[in-house]
Amino acid sequence: MSVGEHRSVPEPGEQVYAPRSSWLPPFLAFAIAIVLCGVYAEGFMVRGWIYSLIAAAAALLIFRALVGQAGRDFYRLRREQKVRGAVLPVETLSPPKR
């Protein structure tokens, strides 16, 4: 392609929607880690299974909030988009000169 040549490539027809950021996944991972570590916390202030029960209840609540947020994010998207295919320009390839 020479210097003065200009190609016009149309914009893609679909839009990409990134999900919103959330602190719920790290909290869920922390709650699950406390559930697993509660077995080994025996003798630290209270019984170990109490830590596991509290963390399991918190993990269930956090998981419920995470699923609810994902559902809200899904339903906030537009239902239909104008479909417009973007045709990519074709480049001609030639074999290397010998």
Q: Please identify every stretch of the chain with a pLDDT value under 50, giving residue numbers as ranges.
A: none
Q: Given the structure tokens 């299974």, which residue do they identify?
A: 49
Q: Are 31 and 59 in contact (CB under 8 A)?
A: yes
Identify the pLDDT of residue 63: 96
Nearest Cα to 16, choosing from 78, 88, 85, 67?
A: 78
DSSP 39: G
Q: Both tokens of residue 35?
A: 């559930």
